[in-house]
Amino acid sequence: MKKLLFSILLLGFGSTLATVGGRAFPASSPASRIGLEEERVEKIAFYSKRSGSCQIYLMNADGSGLQRLTNNSAKEMSPAISPDGTKVAFASNRDGESRIYLMNIDGSDQRRLTNTMNVEILPSWSPDGTKVYFQIEVKGGNSILCVCSSDGKEFRKLTDGSVGYIYPTPSPNGREILCNDNGFQVYIMDADGRNPRRIGDAPTMRLRPTWSPDGRRIAYGLLHGMPPNHTTEIGVMDSDGGHEAAVTRDGSVNEFPCWSPDGKHIAFQSARDGNFEIYVMNADGSDQRRLTNDPGFDGAPSWGIVRILKR
């Protein structure tokens, strides 16, 4: 079960900088002060094997404007766009084991955020951009949820490993954390890791839950069977576990949902066409369409409003 779980998982102050041409500028400064125009554009970050190794890419919300952000032989995975749209957190094994890194939205200034001795995966941002949540994999033990300030100076474990909580995602108001346990039940706990409580009926398994932008709904992968003989559909339920419904019904593997910034759409990875690609749909499941088209794996989307400074 632990080997299976790990294979599934592998699928301070907020940033004040925006970048252009690899140069950093204060995001709080009016663009006119530095002779630049600011543009806010919806982008989807994801990782792909199209180059042979897992690398981070960025594209427009309609699938156009593909941009490669990382370029090396390491595995670069699980990107998460920061709330202010100037940074991407991601996991990389460029130092041997998977660690959490940050980079500017244009791929510049890539640097390691954390300094633990454990495998670190699956970063997500606090809504104010001051913290990055992630999990560490302990050899012979359960996953542990952690948080680090976005300047890398403060690190804290939120859970003790007595229960293997995974996939941490803070709520839009920053007061709670949404996650799975290692049986793929959905839990909500306080932001400090205390008071975990399960939502949703057992024994239904719901993979990698994520909040809607208004905090009223939760999307997830509704798991049927166990890998590799399984299917998943994207499900949506109220944040208290009520009104659950599957919004995809094609009988393939649909998972890793993320919400659009306005909560009207959901992007997700799907293997319905034989290999994983990124799709988007309305939040009710209507108008499903493919955004990527490559023989290599495309998945783990993160949708955000990106700040771009132009001359």
Per-residue pLDDT reduced to its tens digit, 271-297: 999 999 999 999 999 999 999 999 999
Summary count for the chain: helices (H), strands (E): 1, 26
| Joined tokens for residue 208 | 């990698």
Which pair of tokens denotes residue 179? 């996650």
- 310 vs 197: which has the higher pLDDT: 197
104 pairs with which residues across the strands? 87
Q: What pLDDT score does 307 carry?
A: 83
As a whole number of angstroms, the distance between CA 34 and CA 49 comes to 38
Rounded to the nearest angstrom, the gap between the alpha carbon of residue 179 and the centroid of all alpha carbons in its chain is 12
Could you report the per-residue pLDDT of 116-156, keeping only the tens digit for each? 889 999 999 999 999 999 999 998 899 999 999 999 999 99
Residue 240 has pLDDT above 80, yes or no: yes
Which sequence spans correspond to the domains of the chain? 2-310
* Topology (CATH level 3) of domain 2-310: Neuraminidase (2.120.10)
